[in-house]
Amino acid sequence: MARELDLGGTERQLAEIALGLDRDRFEPHVGCFTAGGFRARELRAAGVPVLELGVRSLLSFSALAGARRMGAYLARHAIPLVHAFDVPLDLFAVPVARCYRTPVVLSSQRAHRGLTPGVTRRLLRATDRIVDGIVVNSRAVARELTERDGVPASLLRLVYNGLDTSVFRRQGQRAELPWDDAASVIGIVCALRPEKGLGILMEAFRKVKAGRPGVKLLIVGSGPMLAELEAGGDDDCHFQPAQPDVAPWLRAMDIFALPSLSESLSNSLMEAMACGCCPVASRAGGNPELVTDGETGLLFPVGDAAALAERLALLLDQPAYRLRLAANAERRMLEHFTREQAARAMGAVYHEFLAR
C-alpha cells in the first residue's frame, strides 16, 4: 500500500514487487489513497486489483471512510498480510489493519527518518511497536532505526530495491541534448530538493569545466530548488523537467553524480549504473552499498564539493578508467539488483511471516 501510484521511486518499487511476485504463491492486491497515476494503470493492465481509499488527509473524515473501506476489502478478500510501503500508509494502514485483525502487518522505512521529524516521527515510532516486521531497503536505514529509534534488530528485514532491466539498460534510445559541442556529460536525475546537495554539484562542476572544453552538466528533475539552481547555471548547464521515462536521459550521461546529503537507497543511482553511466556518489546512507569505491564507481565525503570535483576531474581525464568503472557498475546492477531478485526477496519475507 502507498499514498499514490505515479512517478515516485517508492511507487515504482511497489509496482515492481506486485508485478514480480510468484503468482503460484501470492495473489497481490494494491491499495492507495488516490489511484490516478500511471502505475495504477500499469498494475490494472497486468491484472493486479487496485483499491482506491479516497483519503484526502489523515485528519479529515475521508480517513474514517477510507478505514472502513479498507477493512471491508480485507474481510471480503480474506487478505492475510498488509504491507505499508511509505510513511502515510505506515501511519494509516498499520493501525487500520491491526483494528481489523489482519494476521500479518508489515511497515516500511525507505528513507531516513530525519526527513520526517517532529510528531510524524513519534507516530512512526508508535507503529514500530504494533507491526510484525519492518522492511528496509538499505543497511544504513536499518542502523538508523536500531541506533536512533530503538527498533529491535529482530523486527527488521532488508530487501534491496530492484530494477526492470528490460527498461534500464545500456542499449536503447538516447535523449537529444541541447548542445552541439558536448564532449562529456555529467548528469543527475532527482527531485530538486535540498537534501540532494545539488549546490555541491554545481560548485564542483564550475571547478572541473575550467580548461576542459565540451564538459556539460545535465540536471533532470523538478522541485523547489529549480529557480535557485538555474540562477547559478550557465550555457554549459541544462535543466530538464522531470520525465516519466528517464532511461534515454541516463544513456546520454557519461558520469552520474549524486551529491546527496541524505539517502536511503537511490533508485536513480541504480538506474544510472544499469544504463552504463559511471557513478560518483557521496558516502551518504546506502550509496556505499551500491558503489564500491574504485571498483563500481567513486565515492566522496558528504558535502565536500572539492572532493567531488577531484573525482569528476579524474574520470574526465582518464576515459578508459571511467569506462571500466561504468562496465563494472552495469554488471553489478544486472547481477544483483533486478526486479526478479527483489520480488523473490520480498516474497521470502512474506512467506516467513505468514508461516508463523
pLDDT at 237: 97
Note whether residue 38 is domain-resident. Answer: yes
Q: Which three cell numbers stand for residue 137?
A: 531497503
Q: Are residues 77 and 32 in the same domain?
A: yes
Q: Are residues 348 and 286 in the same domain?
A: no
Confidence grade of residue 114 (pLDDT, cut at 50, 70, 90): confident
Instruction: Reduce the DSSP state of residue 129 to 3 states and report it.
Output: coil
Give the DSSP letter of residue 206: H
Mean pLDDT lowest for which of 9-13, 63-67, 179-183, 287-291?
Answer: 9-13
Kindly state the average pLDDT of the residues 57-67: 95
Note whether residue 239 is domain-resident. Answer: yes
Q: Are residues 106 and 196 in the same domain?
A: no
Confidence grade of residue 20 (pLDDT, cut at 50, 70, 90): very high
Q: Are residues 74 and 91 in the same domain?
A: yes
Number of domains in the chain: 2
Is the pLDDT reported for residue 9 higher than 90?
no
**Cell 572532493 found at:** 307
- Can you say how many angstroms the Cα of residue 303 is from the centroid of all Cα atoms in its chain? 21
Q: Which three cell numbers stand for residue 292?
A: 564500491
Kindly state the average pLDDT of the residues 188-203: 96
Is the pLDDT reported for residue 300 higher than 90?
yes
Note whether residue 169 is domain-resident. Answer: no
Is the pLDDT reported for residue 36 higher than 90?
no
Q: For 211-263, what is each residue's pLDDT tens digit?
A: 899 999 999 999 999 999 999 999 999 999 999 899 999 999 999 999 999 99
Note whether residue 178 is domain-resident. Answer: no
pLDDT at 244: 85
pLDDT at 35: 82
Range of the domain at 347: 2-162+338-355
Q: Are residues 30 and 99 in the same domain?
A: yes
Instruction: Label residues 23-62 b or e (16+ Cβ within 10 Å = b).
Output: eeebebbbbbbebebebbebbeeeebebbbbebeeeeeeb
Best CA proximity match to 2, nearest among 250, 234, 11: 11
Q: Are residues 324 and 346 in the same domain?
A: no
Q: Are residues 199 and 139 in the same domain?
A: no
Q: Are residues 13 and 151 in the same domain?
A: yes
Q: Are residues 28 and 143 in the same domain?
A: yes
Confidence grade of residue 46 (pLDDT, cut at 50, 70, 90): very high
Note whether residue 30 is domain-resident. Answer: yes
Read off the CATH number of the domain in which 54 is found.
Answer: 3.40.50.2000
Distance between CA 42 and CA 2 in Å, rounded? 15
Mean pLDDT lowest for which of 3-7, 13-17, 231-235, 316-320?
Answer: 3-7
| Helix (H), strand (E) at residue 202 | helix 198-209
Yes or no: say if 7 and 268 are a contact pair by the CB < 8 Å rule. Answer: no
Note whether residue 176 is domain-resident. Answer: no
Q: Are residues 322 and 351 in the same domain?
A: no
Confidence grade of residue 202 (pLDDT, cut at 50, 70, 90): very high
Note whether residue 174 is domain-resident. Answer: no
Is the pLDDT reported for residue 146 higher than 90?
yes
Q: For 339-349, what is each residue's pLDDT tens digit?
A: 999 999 999 99
Kindly state the average pLDDT of the residues 179-184: 94
Confidence grade of residue 8 (pLDDT, cut at 50, 70, 90): confident
Distance between CA 115 and CA 4 in Å, rounded? 19
Note whether residue 146 is domain-resident. Answer: yes
Beta pairing, strands 255-258 & 298-300: unpaired
Is the pLDDT reported for residue 324 higher than 90?
yes
> Across all residues in the chain, what is the average pLDDT?
96
Kindly state the average pLDDT of the residues 56-72: 96
Q: Are residues 13 and 147 in the same domain?
A: yes
Kindly state the average pLDDT of the residues 136-152: 96
Q: Are residues 33 and 50 in the same domain?
A: yes
